[in-house]
């Protein structure tokens, strides 16, 4: 295109856009400003931008100093309207600010909001001419660069310091003239808000133990949680009416929650948030400083930043701690989607019906730009409402938290089948002979406790034991509860963590289909074992041929495994046909055995100077115990602990003193002598039998 053609096109643009820019008030008298606008719009049109037309003009008004348009502003823009201050402060003229705002108008018409906010501002600054006084070579320092990068990543509005740094970057890098283009160099340096967060991510966790059951998408990137922070805020309230709280949370009523701030416990709040690394919350302030308080509930602080950012595992542990801390406060979240003004009220009825079927507690959290466009959404679900055992967190870029429900519902339908609530929890009476006060949380795993219940932020405890046949030190994961000050301590954990602990104690070397069959039996017994001890509705950790010793402290983290629900359903059928509420194990069938031990060997095994007598006792509920008599005391042990200590094949049927120096033990089979045999299961697996065939062999009616 030659120079003559370009001049012709330029004159045509000037002619066409004259009626597309309407000036009002005192601005109508400024012919030079009108000429500036006409030239600016023609330049934008020449670059390929959509510009105002006579039928769809842009209006330019004199700016007032009242309202949001303060004395420090020189120009403002809304779609179709520009607000311009006459004689602005600083060294730039009205014409520069007019060109700046006209770029925003053209970008709005051409790019449809696709440009990140910082990029549109950079384009407007470069087009306006406001960089004319800057010389290349002067780059922002590392601290300045990190500050603007953080604010861009959080979608914060750029302040004067940010704009100054951006201007110095622009004069060195330039800006592309193509419509809606972004400088590749600046995009690499700054990026979009949460640009590395991934399109969508999810995580399913056991609420009891903190074990991650399954996950997908980006688990690493850090985002502000939005209104999900209302969960730990609520849990940090000393006193509140649970019914009213439930409604306020379901509708995400910030104002009503803020009115409860006099009950807020800052130390408790920070404890619940301790899973989040690099936590930099503003200090707790006077009740009148509402902006800081709003940041505690997930909104931006006074600087336009967010108080914290978290990856999905950190966020899930924080939500878990809050839900366990004050479970009664969150029951009302089951009304989200049912209450007319709740955050999920407008979602599809089929998705909300699924929430009701599963009895789900639901809370949304949305991170938005300063003008209300969603940057990222979060959705927290916990179920069942009466005693939650599952926790799920979802997040997705560019949508509100409520809009995630449709995608989350598809996963919920799958999890309803693969992770049914009835196979989610096990209660285990821990027989460790030690003061519960000495059960320690790790240094990075703080303790949360009330009178008879305790859990840790990360889910696990390190406990020491002086009980016979028990590991001296072990790791257990879950919630510890006591019925009263001197009552039995019961660990409530997830089924798979329990299964891993039993396998480690009973069948370390079992592999293949035999191991999967064994997993299924342990899981089935664990989730059906509440009848074993009526006083605590739990199992014991070293009885019933299912020895649970937790994990060794030096154990390396293992890949999470999950018991096949189809095998558990098969065991339901086999147990029903045989009338069993407990599936026994066998290692040796019905073979008779005898063992003799000297009195000296017996004393060494139990660390006693002398054992005078040994008696076998069976209680009304069928449990077997061994009573040991010493010269000045006596001790009652479960038969399982006794036989494990002496490494007997099974609990002895008879105990006799052969002479003054020898004890004789006799019994039948190994373990209980019936059901799944570890040796036979391994042999069947090596012969090509499947998990189902091994279970049918062990518990079918032909056995």
Per-residue model confidence as pLDDT tens digits over 77-132: 889 999 988 777 667 888 999 999 999 999 999 998 778 888 999 999 999 999 99
**Encoded tokens for 39:** 């030239």
In a domain, 689, yes or no: no
Residues 499 and 596 in one domain: no
**Encoded tokens for 381:** 């679900």
- Residue 228's domain is classified under what CATH number? 3.40.710.10
Cβ pair 548, 505 in contact under 8 A: yes
Task: Name the β-bridge partners of 492.
Answer: 427, 479
Residues 431 and 572 in one domain: yes
Task: Give the tens place of pLDDT for each residue, 6-32.
Answer: 444 444 444 456 678 888 888 888 888
Residues 427 and 399 in one domain: no
Higher pLDDT among residues 172 and 431, named by residue: 172
- Go through 386-405 and write b for each residue having 16 or more CB atoms within 10 A of its CB, e for each that does not: eebbbbbbbbbbebbbbbbb
In a domain, 686, yes or no: no
Q: Tell me what pLDDT residue 608 has.
A: 87
Task: Provide φ and ψ at 73, rounded to 5°.
Answer: -85, 140
Distance CA 286, CA 233 (A): 16
Place of tokens 């400088």: 183
Please state whether beta strands 200-206 and 390-397 pair in parallel, antiparallel, or not at all (unpaired): antiparallel
Average pLDDT over residues 350-361: 95
CA distances, 25 to each of 30, 124, 531 (Å): 10, 25, 84
Cβ pair 677, 701 in contact under 8 A: no
Higher pLDDT among residues 469 and 411, named by residue: 411
Cβ pair 651, 669 in contact under 8 A: no
The pLDDT of residue 483 is above 60: yes
**Encoded tokens for 348:** 């599809």
Q: Tell me what pLDDT residue 285 has.
A: 65
Residues 204 and 186 in one domain: no
Report the run of H or E that residue 576 belongs to, with start and end: helix 565-578
Residues 367 and 428 in one domain: no
Average pLDDT over residues 39-47: 92
Task: Give the tens place of pLDDT for each residue, 51-62.
Answer: 998 889 999 998
In a domain, 383, yes or no: yes
Burial of residue 507 (number of CB atoms within 10 Å: 0-12, 13-18, 19+): buried
45's CB contacts (< 8 A; 6+ apart) are 13, 17, 51
**Helix, strand or coil, per DSSP, at residue 157:** coil
In a domain, 349, yes or no: yes
Closest CA to 75 of 91, 86, 90: 86
Cβ pair 539, 426 in contact under 8 A: yes
**Encoded tokens for 37:** 């606008």
Residues 140 and 231 in one domain: no
Burial of residue 267 (number of CB atoms within 10 Å: 0-12, 13-18, 19+): exposed
- Other CB atoms within a 10 A radius of the CB of residue 34 amount to 17
In a domain, 701, yes or no: no
**pLDDT tier at 556, thresholds 50, 70, 90:** low
Q: Tell me what pLDDT residue 598 has.
A: 92
Residues 177 and 220 in one domain: no
pTM: 0.73
CA angle (199 as vertex; 195, 202 as ends), nearest 5: 120
Distance CA 662, CA 457 (A): 52
Q: DSSP string of 522-542?
A: HHHHHHHGGGSBTTTTBEETE
Q: Tell me what pLDDT residue 147 has.
A: 84
Distance CA 631, CA 453 (A): 39
Could you give the strand order of the β-sheet that contains 634-638, starting from the edge strand earlier in sequence? 613-618, 624-629, 634-638
Average pLDDT over residues 424-436: 75
**Encoded tokens for 422:** 């009835």
Task: Give the tens place of pLDDT for each residue, 635-661.
Answer: 988 887 888 788 888 788 889 988 778
Residues 375 and 428 in one domain: no
Q: Tell me what pLDDT residue 196 has.
A: 47
Please state whether beta strands 585-586 and 676-677 pair in parallel, antiparallel, or not at all (unpaired): parallel
Indicate the DSSP class of residue 440: B
138's CB contacts (< 8 A; 6+ apart) are 168, 171, 172
In a domain, 54, yes or no: yes
Average pLDDT over residues 306-331: 94
**Encoded tokens for 61:** 């008004």
How close are the terminal C-alpha atoms of the chain, in Å?
93
Task: Provide φ and ψ at 606, rounded to 5°.
Answer: -105, 10
Q: Tell me what pLDDT residue 703 has.
A: 44
- Other CB atoms within a 10 A radius of the CB of residue 222 amount to 18
Distance CA 421, CA 383 (A): 8
Task: Give the tens place of pLDDT for each residue, 164-213.
Answer: 999 999 999 999 999 999 998 998 888 766 554 456 899 999 999 999 99
Distance CA 33, CA 103 (A): 15
Q: Tell me what pLDDT residue 222 has.
A: 87
Higher pLDDT among residues 318 and 397, named by residue: 318
Cβ pair 333, 261 in contact under 8 A: no
Q: Which of 363, 385, 411 finishes a domain?
A: 411
Residues 135 and 204 in one domain: no
The pLDDT of residue 335 is above 90: yes
Q: How many domains does the chain have?
A: 4
**pLDDT tier at 142, thresholds 50, 70, 90:** confident
In a domain, 587, yes or no: no
Cβ pair 227, 365 in contact under 8 A: yes
E strands, 130-227, are 200-206, 212-216
Residues 261 and 401 in one domain: yes
Task: Name the β-bridge partners of 592.
Answer: 668
Residues 149 and 55 in one domain: yes
Distance CA 49, CA 103 (A): 9
Q: Pseudo-torsion of CA 452, 552, 271, 196, nearest 10°?
A: -140
The pLDDT of residue 618 is above 70: yes
Task: Give the tens place of pLDDT for each residue, 337-348.
Answer: 999 999 999 999
Residues 314 and 388 in one domain: yes
Q: DSSP string of 392-410?
A: EEEEEETS-SGGGHHHHHH
In a domain, 275, yes or no: yes
553's CB contacts (< 8 A; 6+ apart) are 462, 473, 474, 475
Burial of residue 534 (number of CB atoms within 10 Å: 0-12, 13-18, 19+): exposed
Q: Tell me what pLDDT residue 73 has.
A: 56
Could you tell me the residue range of the domain that residue 494 belongs to?
423-582
Closest CA to 337 of 246, 219, 232, 240: 246
Peptide bond into 384 cis (omega under 30): yes
Please state whether beta strands 75-78 and 81-84 pair in parallel, antiparallel, or not at all (unpaired): antiparallel
Q: Which of 156, 190, 224 finishes a domain?
A: 190
Place of tokens 């967190």: 393
Q: Which of 139, 166, 190 finishes a domain?
A: 190
Higher pLDDT among residues 67 and 496, named by residue: 496
Task: Provide φ and ψ at 226, rounded to 5°.
Answer: 65, -140
**pLDDT tier at 430, thresholds 50, 70, 90:** confident
Average pLDDT over residues 40-59: 92
pLDDT over 90 for what percent of the chain? Answer: 47
Cβ pair 486, 535 in contact under 8 A: no
pLDDT over 70 for what percent of the chain? Answer: 86
**Alpha helix (H) ranges present in 191-325?**
230-235, 242-250, 254-258, 266-272, 290-296, 312-325
């Amino acid at each position: 295109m030659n120079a003559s053609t370009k001049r012709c096109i330029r004159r045509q643009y000037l002619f066409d856009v004259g009626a597309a820019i309407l000036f009002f008030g005192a601005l109508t008298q400024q012919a030079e400003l009108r000429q500036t606008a006409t030239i600016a719009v023609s330049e934008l049109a020449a670059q390929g931008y959509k510009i105002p037309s006579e039928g769809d003009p842009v209006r330019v008004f004199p700016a007032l100093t009242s309202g949001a348009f303060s004395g420090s502003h020189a120009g403002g823009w809304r779609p179709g309207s520009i607000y311009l201050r006459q004689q602005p402060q600083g060294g730039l003229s009205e014409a520069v600010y007019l060109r700046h705002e006209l770029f925003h108008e053209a970008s709005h018409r051409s790019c449809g909001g696709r440009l990140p906010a910082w990029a549109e501002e950079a384009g407007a600054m470069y087009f306006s001419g406001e960089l004319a006084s800057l010389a290349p070579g002067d780059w922002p320092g590392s601290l300045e660069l990190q500050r603007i990068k953080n604010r861009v990543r959080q979608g914060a509005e750029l302040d004067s310091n940010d704009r100054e740094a951006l201007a110095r970057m622009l004069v060195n890098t330039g800006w592309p003239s193509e419509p809606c283009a972004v400088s590749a160099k600046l995009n690499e340096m700054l990026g979009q808000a949460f640009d590395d967060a991934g399109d969508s991510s999810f995580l399913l966790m056991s609420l009891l133990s903190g074990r991650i059951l399954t996950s997908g998408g980006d688990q690493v990137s850090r985002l502000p949680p939005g209104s999900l922070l209302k969960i730990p805020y609520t849990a940090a309230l000393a006193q509140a009416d649970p019914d009213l709280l439930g409604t306020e949370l379901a509708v995400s009523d910030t104002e009503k929650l803020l009115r409860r701030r006099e009950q807020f416990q800052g130390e408790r709040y920070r404890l619940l948030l301790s899973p989040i690394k690099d936590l930099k919350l503003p200090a707790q302030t006077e009740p009148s400083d509402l902006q800081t308080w709003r940041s505690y509930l997930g909104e931006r602080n006074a600087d336009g930043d967010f108080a914290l950012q978290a990856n999905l595992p950190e966020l899930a542990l924080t939500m878990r701690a809050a839900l366990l801390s004050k479970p009664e406060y969150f029951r009302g979240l089951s009304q989200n989607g049912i209450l007319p003004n709740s955050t999920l009220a407008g979602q599809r009825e089929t998705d909300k019906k699924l929430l009701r079927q599963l009895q789900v507690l639901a809370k949304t959290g949305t991170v938005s730009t300063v003008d209300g466009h969603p940057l990222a959404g979060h959705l927290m679900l916990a179920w069942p409402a009466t005693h939650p055992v599952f926790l799920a967190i979802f997040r997705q870029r560019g949508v509100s938290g409520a809009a995630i429900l449709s995608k989350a519902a598809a996963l919920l339908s799958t999890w309803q089948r693969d992770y049914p609530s009835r196979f989610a929890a096990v209660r285990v009476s821990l027989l460790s002979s030690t003061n519960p006060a000495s059960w320690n949380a790790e240094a990075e795993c703080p303790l949360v406790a009330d009178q008879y219940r305790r859990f840790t932020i990360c889910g696990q405890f390190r406990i020491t034991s002086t009980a016979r046949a028990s590991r001296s030190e072990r790791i257990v994961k879950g919630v510890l509860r006591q019925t009263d000050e001197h009552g039995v301590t019961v660990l409530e954990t997830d089924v798979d963590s329990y299964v891993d602990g039993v396998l480690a104690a009973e069948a370390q070397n079992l592999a293949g289909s035999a191991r999967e069959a064994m997993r299924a039996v342990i899981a089935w017994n664990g989730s059906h074992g509440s009848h074993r001890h009526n006083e605590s509705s739990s199992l014991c950790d070293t009885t019933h041929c299912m020895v649970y010793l937790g994990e060794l402290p030096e154990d390396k983290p293992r890949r999470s495994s999950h018991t096949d629900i189809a095998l558990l359903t098969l065991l339901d059928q086999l147990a029903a046909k045989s009338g069993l509420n407990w599936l026994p194990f066998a290692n040796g069938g019905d073979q008779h055995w005898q063992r003799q031990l000297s009195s000296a060997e017996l004393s060494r095994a139990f660390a006693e100077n002398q054992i005078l007598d040994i008696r076998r006792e069976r209680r009304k509920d069928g449990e077997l115990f061994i009573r040991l008599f010493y010269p000045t005391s006596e001790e009652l042990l479960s038969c399982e602990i006794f036989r494990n200590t002496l490494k007997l094949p099974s609990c002895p049927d008879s105990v006799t003193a052969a002479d003054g120096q020898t004890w004789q033990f006799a019994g039948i089979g190994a373990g209980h002598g019936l059901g799944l045999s570890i040796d036979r299961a391994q042999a069947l697996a090596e012969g090509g039998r499947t998990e189902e065939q091994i279970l049918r062999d062990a518990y079918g009616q032909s056995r």
